Structure formats: structure tokens, C-alpha cells
Amino acid sequence: NWASYNYNENTYELDSVTTVFNSNRNYFIESSAVRSINNHWSAGVLGSVQSSTFRNIDYNHRFSSAIEYNIFDYKDFNEKQIRIQYRVSYNNFQYVDTTIYNEINEHLFDHSLRVGAEFVQKWGTIDFAATASQYFHDTSLKRLDIWGSVNWRIVKGLSVSVGGNIEFIQDQISLPKGGASDIDILTRQRQLATNYAYWGSTGFTYTFGSIYNNIVNPRFGN
């Protein structure tokens, strides 16, 4: 279970007489119930609520059922795991503005397949995940998300990490029909149409205690 909330306000002075103010609100709440079937299989149900003015989503209620298989025994989660998860979801979207598909409120089903791996060693950790998703009503609406990171332990407690993510996007169903104005683009108030997105990061982390303390439950983990 987890939740996040973000609210941003920005003011831009375009010239001596023009000032633009914009704000973005985003929140996400998710809860799940997971049942252990055996040492390799798990099943669960998940529910979430989200809102994003940036993505033109007033609110989205989402309910999912999923099954997961871990190639390794779950008892070895603090050393290695490769998990494959299949999920089917129902969505109720309420949009802020009418979308490019002429929708203001719609009910959609989608499914996704996720492969995630983590290997923990004395020198550090390797994490990888790839998720492919697709809507049932229009199979051309799909997305592929690939993420990975490597964390090297320099000395006890201190690590350096390198990570990155790339998304291939063909499912932007919430884009507003009216498009984005020059002001929206300048202030980053609206999501823009795109076929891909990527980011990379590097940084240092200092951890107290065991290297395994941050792992709580491997089933349906991130």
C-alpha cells in the first residue's frame, strides 16, 4: 500500500507587463491484498485512485486482479528474484477536458505483463523491470516501459547508483482535444503527445543497518 501527493505552483514573467501563473495537482493512492499460493506463485487484487491535471485526468478509479510467478523460491528474495506478473484491470476515467477521442468519461479494460528482476550481492544490487500494457478495446493503444539500475557499494553504508528508464508510448488516451497552447507548453501545464520518453540518473545513497532492511515483502513488490 502506498500513496503520493504533489502540488506545484509556478509564476513566469514573460515580459514587463505579462505574468503567467500555473498550478498542477497530482495524487495517487493504491492498496492491495496478496495471497500466497506456494513458494513460487502468488495472486492478488489491487485498487487505486489517481488524479493528474497535467495528464487531463480529473480522477481514475482502477481495479485489478493479478497473478505472479517467481522463478526462484520466494524465500531467496534477499539474494535473487525474477518475477513475472500478469494483470487485468478495469478503469473508470473522468477527464478534465474532452479528449482527442471525444471522451469526457469512459470505462476501459486493459492488461499488462511485467518482468522484474533483482540480484543482491555484497558489492551491491542490480534491478531491472520491463512492463508491456495494452487496452482491450483498441489493441493499437499500448506501451512498453523498461527500467534498470545498478547500485555499487563503495564502503559500508555508502553506495553509488546509476539508473535509467525508457518508455515507448502509444496509449495517450487522455490528451485534450484542444491541444496545448504556447503558454501550456512553456509552463509545462499539459502533457504533450509523444512516442517515447526517457530519463537517466546517478547519485549516492547512505544506508544504516543491513543491506536487506529495505526489503519487506517480495510478493507483488516493485
CATH of the domain at 91: 2.40.160
| CA dist., res. 128 & res. 212, Å (int) | 18
Q: The cell 544504516 sits on which residue?
A: 208
How many domains would you assign to the chain? 1
Q: Which residues of 2-24 are buried (b: 16+ CB within 10 A; e: fewer)?
A: eeeeeeeeeeeeeeeeeeeebeb
**Residue 222 within a domain:** no
Please tell me the predicted confidence (pLDDT) of residue 64: 98
| Residue 185: its H or E element | helix 182-187
Which domain does 202 fall in, by range? 2-206
Q: What is the DSSP letter of 99?
A: B
**Residue 33 within a domain:** yes
**Residue 212 within a domain:** no
**Residue 214 within a domain:** no
Q: The cell 522463478 sits on which residue?
A: 71
**Residue 103 within a domain:** yes
**Residue 196 within a domain:** yes
Q: What is the pTM of this model?
A: 0.85
pLDDT in tens, the chain (222 residues): 778 888 777 777 767 777 777 777 899 999 999 999 999 999 999 999 999 999 999 999 999 999 999 999 989 988 999 999 999 999 999 999 999 999 999 999 999 999 999 999 889 999 999 999 999 999 999 999 999 999 999 988 899 999 999 999 999 999 999 877 777 777 777 888 999 999 999 999 887 765 555 556 677 876
Please tell me the predicted confidence (pLDDT) of residue 215: 52
pLDDT digits (tens, 9 = 90+) for 76-85: 988 999 999 9
**Residue 177 within a domain:** yes
Question: Beta strands of 122-181 (E only): which ranges?
Answer: 124-135, 142-155, 158-170
